[in-house]
Structure 1
């Protein structure tokens, strides 16, 4: 028997060969003889025998009447390893989105990362995120919408106008920088925001660093690149994500002022300096 090894050695042993992982998975499903394992994973008999000997030394498997059976300890090793792989795969898939939110100190719940679908803009489709947000806005016709946005674009404005025309009611929170850009570049959209009873725009006291869009139980979270272009769109209907979204929306609403009040204040300040 082998001497007691450092647990990290066991991790390195298992992860050091795809064949070892495949053999462990095979035995986890049901007890097998070496020949059956060799046929299933397309490995040489020598390789299988060597790996099985390593498992047996670590007490992950035992032999009984010629079959290799996994021990309870081996089951735990297998299941923990598979869970780790799933977590690493998840981190690869949503890592950029999660990192963007963490830089914004958004407090997004880690468990929520497994409960949604992700759209990512990349070299193959640089507008994927923008296109998806526009689709989501258009799908909100006739519904109550709550949104936070760190950017203003013509496509967003056009989609929102169409949604309002079809009976939506929108409550939007922006920051002062977005408000200034909207007033300067999108006059008609600003005027509609001021005049349409179904559109409520609030100007937050703090900068907005990510997008958030909710309607019913549908939550959409948008992160942006260094040029403030939409990069990742995460969508979920999970209660954990919904609760987070509601809390973040209310946080931005606290201390926010109606767009009308902010613009009137700007006008008064200009008048007093003339």
Structure 2
């Protein structure tokens, strides 16, 4: 268990950007107080007070007129910088991770920052849809595999363009969107049933997230509670590629061809 002294030290460092800047500067190289005045935005009095606080915690020592960070101070600095990086990563990937967690998806946490993230924001609520559409068009001529809980006209049009350019597509869709696909997107459904390069399956279980893979690019899409694409993580990292392949195979194991569903209907 972390001691109260540890909490006090963490609060002390985090309580002032100047303290963080000073410890970072001393981590880089030993400095005199005058050098710190030129490096950080603080008065000489403030710097002396912070140096005294660092000294009380054994984070720095004074040797002659120069202050040096101790091994303990280095560890404190490095741990704090790591914490800042994790907090920044949480700000960036938090919504993506939360949406996947809500869907019960066991996405590897070490892969969260292993790629580029596109987020649907207030100024561009269709950012995730637009990026997925771009990726579909960029995959012309490739072998594509995807799992999607929704059918969207933009996706249908981009997939048609990819097929025209020589791509092959395997797609698994949610059973709840089959009726919509047949009634509202007749031409796309007809092509899915007749084009030898397009194979569409219907999942046996609800789909609450999306995956997409072609060549060495893998994407994971998180959806909000209204089933709108919110975040798209695209990556070439081997962990993400393998995870996406596993998810596709898991859905494909119990899926049935769309043609069977349509024929039975």
- For 1:126 and 1:175, the matched residues in 2 are separated by 23
**How much does 1:109 deviate?**
0.7
Most deviating of 4-13 and 182-191: 4-13
Is 1:176 the counterpart of 2:175 in the alignment? yes
Q: Match of 2:9?
A: 10
Q: Match of 2:116?
A: 117
Unaligned 5+ residue runs, structure 2? none
Note the 1:31-42 alignment, pairs <5 A: 31-42=30-41
Tell me the alpha carbon deviations over residues 197-226 of structure 1, each in whole angstroms, 9 at most, x when there is no partner: 100111111111111110011011112223
Q: Match of 2:218?
A: 219
Note the 1:229-240 alignment, pairs <5 A: 229-240=228-239
- For 2:248 and 2:39, the matched residues in 1 are separated by 53
Q: 1:256 to 1:14 in 2, by over 3 A?
A: same
Is 1:210 the counterpart of 2:209 in the alignment? yes
Unaligned 5+ residue runs, structure 1? 267-274
Q: Match of 1:162?
A: 161
- Contact preservation (8 Å) 2:93, 2:113: no
Q: Match of 1:61?
A: 60
Tell me the alpha carbon deviations over residues 213-248 of structure 1, each in whole angstroms, 9 at most, x when there is no partner: 100110111122232221111111101111111111
- For 1:58 and 1:246, the matched residues in 2 are separated by 50
**How much does 1:5 deviate?**
6.0
Over aligned residue pairs, what C-alpha RMSD do you find? 1.1
Q: Secondary structure at the match of 2:101?
A: helix
Tell me the alpha carbon deviations over residues 76-102 of structure 1, each in whole angstroms, 9 at most, x when there is no partner: 100000000000000001110110011
- For 1:26 and 1:37, the matched residues in 2 are separated by 8
- For 1:161 and 1:168, the matched residues in 2 are separated by 9
Q: Match of 1:257?
A: 256
Runs of 4+ residues deviating >2 angstroms? none
**How much does 1:107 deviate?**
0.8
- For 1:28 and 1:57, the matched residues in 2 are separated by 17
Number of residue pairs matched by the alignment: 263
TM-score, normalisation: structure 2: 0.97
Q: 1:259 to 1:46 in 2, by over 3 A?
A: same
Q: Match of 2:135?
A: 136
